[in-house]
Amino acid sequence: MRPKRVLFLDHAPALGGAEYSLLDVLTRLPRERVVPLLVCAPGPVALEAERRGIPHRTMGFPRLRRSTTLPRNLWKGVQEITHIAHTFRADILYTNTVRAQVYGIAAHFRSRLPLMWHMRDFWLSEAKPRWSAPDRWGKRILCATARHVITNSRAVAEHLPCPEKTTVVYNGIEVERFRPGEGRMAFRREHGIPLHVPVIGMVGRLRPWKGQDRFLRIAHTVAKHHPSTRFLIVGGTPFGVGKDYEQELHSFATALGLKEHTVFTGHLPDVRPALAAMDIFVHPGDPEPFGRVIIEAMAMALPVVAFAHGAIPEIVLPGRTGILVAPYDEDALAHAIMALIEDVDKRKYMGHRAREHVARTFHIRTTVERLTQILQHM
């Protein structure tokens, strides 16, 4: 069987979980089976592709929501994608985001190439839309034009109207890059965190749905019972939105009396030292379509405390790799954290099992092999 030549499309202006997951796959695709070419926006994604030696081309993916510019933007983008696909002699178009899928659909009709859509979110917008009908009809159109749909969890697949053509392929990471404890002391010293106090942390872009404000309320409860505990909020605003929310969080931490107990790191290009500095990882946000940071924390041998919604029950094994509580029950989440603070042996056991579970279920090798098989048979 000759290798399939696949043109991957991603519009993102910054590196998020979807982009890192795609780049991890492109780095490891067996070239004797799949020959990739990434088309992405100029900026961080292209620079990271260059650093990794991933073949790529850049083009603009303008926003499509303004009706006055939509036809021109779409037509220009489709012409460019079609030209690149023809020159590359592509066999398949593969879209990694919703906006890329819209461009991909138009390019599919012009080039007649089969289209694969990788859907990584619950909604066509970042947050749950105010009106469900446009989202529902938009998904029907995007599904109808794709020959195959990949989702990163069963939770995402349940939001799509095309189960007959949908396959769940979990995101994967290179577990060997996560060495428990490596950089722990150096990170704590750098950020003024005492070396022998419990550290509770979370990782995520500073957006309300990620739950940093909820994390601070929970931290306030924990600190009343365990005053030596420190809290770590890792994340910034790589997509250029959320500055007001960031300021609100700092003010909120001060109002709760947590200023001296909480470290805001901002955006970190490498979260591994921050994870190594933690003792318990918390995910206090709204439902996640997957949650790459959760498997990264588990690979660092951290127990996870989170709400049992979204894709998290597909990742965390309750009682074995962490503790799940009823969605939005902040008091239950605080008590689960305190239970692990007080039981060092239990959290070490859970952390050890968490790393084993990630290595077995969420290794990048598994992700790459599953995607390779699907692409070869399209």
Total-model pTM: 0.94
Q: What is the DSSP letter of 260?
A: T
Tokens of 358: 């990630």
- Of 97, 102, 81, give the one whose Cα is nearest residue 37: 81
Query: For residue 130, what pLDDT band results from cuts at 50, 70 and 90?
Result: confident
Q: What is the pLDDT of residue 73?
A: 79
Residues 64, 31 contacting (CB under 8 angstroms): no
Q: What is the pLDDT of residue 225?
A: 97
Q: What is the pLDDT of residue 74?
A: 84
Tokens of 323: 């503790």
Edge-to-edge strands, sheet with 115-119: 56-58, 34-40, 4-10, 92-95, 115-119, 148-151, 166-168
Please give the Cα distance from 103 to 330 (Å, whole number): 41
Residues 6, 25 contacting (CB under 8 angstroms): no
Out of 28-37, 74-83, 122-131, give the one with best mean pLDDT. Answer: 28-37
For residue 72, report the phi and psi dihedrals to the nearest 5 degrees.
-65, -45
Q: What are 208-255's pLDDT values in tens digits?
A: 999 999 999 999 999 999 999 999 999 998 665 567 899 999 999 999
How large is the average pLDDT for residues 293-315?
98
Find where tokens 């902040």 sit.
330
How large is the average pLDDT for residues 338-366?
98
- Per-residue pLDDT for 327 more than 90? yes
Those residues whose C-beta lies under 8 Å from the C-beta of residue 72, and which sit 6 or more positions away, are none
Domains, in order of start, for the chain: 4-172+363-376 (3.40.50.2000), 175-361 (3.40.50.2000)
Cβ of 65: how many Cβ atoms within 10 Å? 9
**Chain length of the chain:** 378
Q: What is the DSSP letter of 2?
A: P
Q: What are 141-166's pLDDT values in tens digits?
A: 999 999 999 999 999 999 999 999 99
How large is the average pLDDT for residues 125-139?
89
Query: For residue 129, what pLDDT band results from cuts at 50, 70 and 90?
Result: confident
Please give the Cα distance from 17 to 19 (Å, whole number): 5
Q: Pick the residue with more confidence: 76 or 178?
A: 178
Tokens of 104: 């991909």
Q: What is the pLDDT of residue 128?
A: 85
Burial 247-264 (b: 16+ CB within 10 A, else e): eebeebbeebebeebbbb
Q: Average per-residue pLDDT in the chain?
A: 95
Q: What is the pLDDT of residue 240?
A: 59
